Structure 1
Amino acid sequence: MTTAIVTLASRARLDHLRRQEEWIRTVAPDAIRVVVQLDAEPDEAFGGDALHVPPGDGGLRLAAGRNRGAAEAIARGADLLVFLDVDCLPHPGLLAAYEGASTGRRELLCGPVTYLPEGVIPTSPAEADAHLDPHPARPAPADGVVQPATAADWDLFWSLSFACTPETWAAIGGFHERFEGYGGEDTDFGWTARDAGARLHWVGGAHALHQYHPTSKPPWQHLDDILRNGRIAFERWGRWPMLRWIEAFAAEGAVEFADGDWRRTA
């Protein structure tokens, strides 16, 4: 099986990308590597092979970047597409777990993600096991176990770490490129996959370790993106994604629901 690892990156995450590259060279030296830079201008620091997808009016074009990366991986002969967030370090068993779980049917495969605390940076993949503590919001089966998702699990799909075949990717149609900036495109992709007849599976052993970076809860810096992208999703599905964040903003008086829409109060 020929596997590709597709990663989106910007200058703000260049250090994380470099560490990820080091780990990939160790744990998956034969994988096709596709990096998509999302900044306004190409940067030679990403290497001559990096693809470039500049921002749109709404911010970084994550959906378009993943679509561009997938097209490149498929053109280079990939049988399995693994999408790995730039903050994520691959566990030594990640690729083998995804490859072993892939049946060739229409399915999305998602592995557990561990969020590393501030100041904790494993120096090599050999140290990965000592830090595993999968995020509790999503299933984390035992190594070697492939757990079918429930119908409700489709709302939990995220793009930090997932895999699918080119055939499944084509059936889904990729990410919807109206989504720009923060949020919404993952949920939309999951719902689209569900309606395309795909199955969602949680893959034990396909661990990724998410490198620390500062965050805010709720993510105030992304408020406008969340409202805009949430509105796009509502137009497409009749449901608002990211309601946990939107309701947190509402609790602080920053947004309100009026005339069927979430809006800023000021």
Structure 2
Amino acid sequence: MRSLTEAPRPGTDAERPARVSVLIPAYNTRTTLRACLLSLTHQTQRTPYTYEVIVVDDGSSDGTKDMIAGFPGRLDLHYTYEQRSPASGRARARNIGLAMATGDIVVTLDADQVVAPDFLDEHVRAHAAGPDLLVVGGRLQLDEGDIDQEALAERFDLSSLPEVVRGDERDRVFRSLGCELADMETAWHYPWTCNVSVRRDRLIAVGGFDESFTGWGLEDAELGYRLVKDGVRMHYTTGAAVYHEHRLPVTADQYRQWRRNLEKFIRKHPDPVVRLQEMFAPAIDPDTLTEEDWVDTAVRFEHAARALTGPDRPLPVH
């Protein structure tokens, strides 16, 4: 992993606007990445901030580099290419972006989603509540179909996107439990890095992403676990939502990768609550995923975690 060091930053937070670094790993996602970048050109700034966008090309062969070279110059856009190798993956790509970042706040996105004009503003405003937050934004699922990139280049409008067909599954979990994300014993499991933000110094303090997590799944939950253990508080906001392009079902190969990463997670953190994530297997396995709803599993997961800590467990301080 590349060295994660704190770059010198003159002045104090009170003397200058926040600086945001948006990290986007990309692998053969030229078309969807372009839509993502176009949406980032329309960001509003009710709260003063500046931002940079860092694209880490994880060995693409689809012309991503040429697309970036020809992208309209309306972003502080930085691009780096890493040769594909057995070590490639989202964790490594995000660490490469983190080593390049100059922002106070790091926002992570995926290359297959677009954001509304107030997306970054909502993240920045959330962090004004304190220096120790992990801000988790919502994810809205789009139907099949293409984004009208010509229209999106001019302005953000929902009419240029496919229809939203599903909200964020985590909202249903919170409603079922009658609590907020910050109140959950298992909150660390849910900071999906398609849409989270955290202070760069807090991310560096825990060592960034664990690059031994390759393939699909759980590198974000493992980071969330370490951040929470380090004292970071969780905050969920629907205001900073992303629009996720049509997602295909989990494949058998992805499920095998998830199982491998879960075993690694359990070995690294021999905490009984970490092992409880095995409960999700039937809801993720493509051979059995119709047998149990993911939301029902998430609710059982939280109840089981609370049972481990006892009825007198302290709730997080808001």
Structure 1 residue corresponding to 2:30, chosen from 6, 9, 14: 14
**Distance (Å, rounded) in 2 between the aligned partners of 1:188 and 1:151:** 15
Does residue 35 (structure 1) correspond to residue 55 (structure 2)? The answer is yes
* Superposition pairs of residues 91-102 of structure 1, within 5 angstroms: 91-102=116-127
| SS of residue in 1 equivalent to 2:234 | strand
Q: Could you tell me whether the CA contact under 8 Å between 2:22 and 2:106 is conserved in 1? A: yes
Query: 2:89 matched to which residue of 1?
Result: 61
* Superposition pairs of residues 104-183 of structure 1, within 5 angstroms: 104-119=130-145, 121=147, 123-124=151-152, 125-127=156-158, 131=164, 134-138=167-171, 148-183=182-217
Q: Could you tell me whether the CA contact under 8 Å between 2:189 and 2:222 is conserved in 1? A: no
Q: Could you tell me whether the CA contact under 8 Å between 1:56 and 1:180 is conserved in 2? A: no
**Distance (Å, rounded) in 2 between the aligned partners of 1:54 and 1:139:** 40
Shift of 1:243: 4.3
**Gap regions ≥5 residues in structure 2:** 1-17, 70-77, 175-179, 289-318
**Distance (Å, rounded) in 2 between the aligned partners of 1:18 and 1:149:** 37
Does residue 245 (structure 1) correspond to residue 265 (structure 2)? The answer is no
Q: Could you tell me whether the CA contact under 8 Å between 2:27 and 2:60 is conserved in 1? A: no
Q: Which amino acid aligns with 1:53?
A: E
Query: 1:4 matched to which residue of 2?
Result: 21
Of residues 223-232 and 188-197 in structure 1, the stretch that sits farther from structure 2 once superposed is 223-232
**Distance (Å, rounded) in 2 between the aligned partners of 1:179 and 1:4:** 23
Of residues 159-168 and 117-126 in structure 1, the stretch that sits farther from structure 2 once superposed is 117-126
**Distance (Å, rounded) in 2 between the aligned partners of 1:250 and 1:98:** 34
Query: 1:262 matched to which residue of 2?
Result: none
Structure 1 residue corresponding to 2:110, chosen from 78, 85, 100: 85
Q: Which amino acid aligns with 2:254?
A: H
- So what's the TM-score if we normalise by structure 2? 0.67
Q: Which has the larger radius of gyration?
A: 2
Of residues 181-190 and 131-140 in structure 1, the stretch that sits farther from structure 2 once superposed is 131-140
When residues 200 and 64 of structure 1 are mapped into structure 2, their CA distance, relative to the original with a 3 A threshold, is same
Q: Could you tell me whether the CA contact under 8 Å between 1:6 and 1:82 is conserved in 2? A: yes
Which consecutive aligned stretches of 4+ in structure 1 deviate over 6 angstroms post-superposition? none
Query: 1:263 matched to which residue of 2?
Result: none
**Gap regions ≥5 residues in structure 1:** 253-266
Q: Give the superposed CA RMSD.
A: 3.1
State the number of aligned residues.
241
When residues 229 and 47 of structure 1 are mapped into structure 2, their CA distance, relative to the original with a 3 A threshold, is same
